[in-house]
Structure 1
Amino acid sequence: MAAFLYHTMSSSALVSLGLYHLISATRSYLKSPNSYSAKPFHPFPPSSSGNNTHHRFRYLSLYLIIICLLVALTHQLIISSDSDILLKGRTPVYRFTSLQSSAVLFLFLILAVSVLLSESSSLLPLPTDLIFALASAIFLLQYSVSAAAASVQTSDLEAKCDSVSARISALASVLCLILACQPRLFVADVGLGAAICLQGLWVLQTGLSLYVDAFIPEGCHRLLDVVKGIVGSTKCDLDDSKFRAVAILDFVFLVHVIFVALIVMITYGGIAKSLGMTKSGTYEALPNNAPTSESYHHGHIQMKALTGTQA
Structure 2
Amino acid sequence: MASLASHFSGFLFLFPIGIRRLLCSSSLYLNNPSLFSSKPWYFSNPIWKNLDLYILSVALPIASFSQFFIFLSFSGHPTYRFSFFHQSASIALFWALIILFLLREKIDPFLVNESFVFAFAGIVFLVEYTVIGEGITGVGGVVYQLLGQLTLVCAGSCLLLSVRPNSFFAEFLLSCGLVFKGTWLLQAGFSLYTDKFGLKGCQKLLVPPGSANADVHCELEDDGSRAVALVNLLFVVHAIGVLIAGFVLFGLMSSFKNLRCGEKSGPLLAELESENMMHAVHEIERE
- Please indicate the TM-score interval, normalised by the length of the shorter structure: 0.7 to 0.9
Show structure 2 runs of 5+ residues with no match.
208-213, 260-287
Contact 2:202 2:223 in 1 (8 A): yes
- 2:19 corresponds to: 19
* CA deviations over 1:208-255 (Å, ceiling 9, x no partner): 011221222222114889xxxxxx863113322211111110000111
Q: Counterpart in 2 of 1:260?
A: 242
What is residue 35 of structure 1 aligned with on the other side?
35
Show the counterpart of 2:93: 107
- Of 65, 71, 76, 2:67 maps to 76
TM-score, normalised via structure 1 length = 0.74
Shift in CA distance, 41/222, structure 1 to aligned 2, threshold 3 Å: closer
1:199 lines up with 2:181 in the alignment: yes
3-state secondary structure, aligned to 1:34: helix
Does structure 1 retain, via aligned residues, the 8 Å contact 2:13–2:52? no
The one-letter amino acid paired with 2:124 is: I
Give unmatched runs, 5+ long, in structure 1: 46-53, 84-88, 226-231, 278-311
CA distance in 2, matches of 1:181, 1:224: 43
Q: Deviations over 1:171-205 (max 9, x none)?
A: 11111111111111101101101001111111101
Show the counterpart of 1:153.
136
SS of 2:38 mapped into structure 1: coil
Which deviations, in whole Å up to 9, do the C-alpha atoms of 1:1-25 show, x marking residues without a partner?
A: x921222121111101111111110
Partner amino acid for 1:239? Answer: E
Indicate yes or no: 2:90 matched with 1:90: no
Return closer, same or farther for 1:185/1:238 CA change in 2, 3 Å cut-off: same
Within 2, Cα distance between the matches of 1:110 and 1:126? 13
* Whole-angstrom distance in 1 between the partners of 2:60 and 2:95: 6
The match for 1:144 among 102, 127, 130 is 130
Task: Tell me if 1:131 matches 2:114.
Answer: no
Q: Aligned pair count?
A: 252
Greater helix proportion: 2
Q: Is the 8 A contact 1:81 1:95 kept in 2?
A: yes
Partner of 1:297: none
Measure how far apart 1:143 and its partner are: 1.1
Q: 1:185 to 1:143 in 2, by over 3 A?
A: same
Percent of aligned positions with the same letter in both sequences?
Answer: 29
Alignment of 1:1-311 (within 5 A): 3-44=3-44, 54=46, 56-57=47-48, 59-77=50-68, 80=71, 90-122=76-108, 125-146=111-132, 149=134, 152-154=135-137, 156-222=138-204, 234-275=216-257
RCO higher in 1 or 2 (8 Å CA, sep ≥ 6)? 2
CA distance in 2, matches of 1:63, 1:39: 17
* CA gap 1:102/1:29 in 2 versus in 1, 3 angstroms: same
Cα RMSD over matched residues? 2.6
Alpha-carbon distance change, 61 to 11 in structure 1, aligned in 2, over 3 angstroms? closer
**CA separation of 1:207/1:82 partners in 2, compared to 1, >3 Å: closer, same or farther?**
farther
Query: How big is each residue's C-alpha offset from its partner over 1:241-279, in whole Å with a ceiling of 9 and x where there is no partner?
Result: 2111111100001111011112201211222222179xx
Query: 2:267 maps to what in 1?
Result: none
Q: Quick one: structure 1 residues 37 and 221, their matched pair in 2 at CA, closer, same or farther if it must change by over 3 Å?
A: same
Displaced runs of 4 or more, over 6 A: none
Structure 2 CA distance for partners of 1:16 and 1:68, relative to 1, 3 Å: farther
The superposition leaves residues 27-53 of structure 1 with CA deviations (integer Å, 9 ceiling, x where unpaired) of 1111121211011110125xxxxxxxx
Quote the offset at 1:159 in angstroms: 1.3
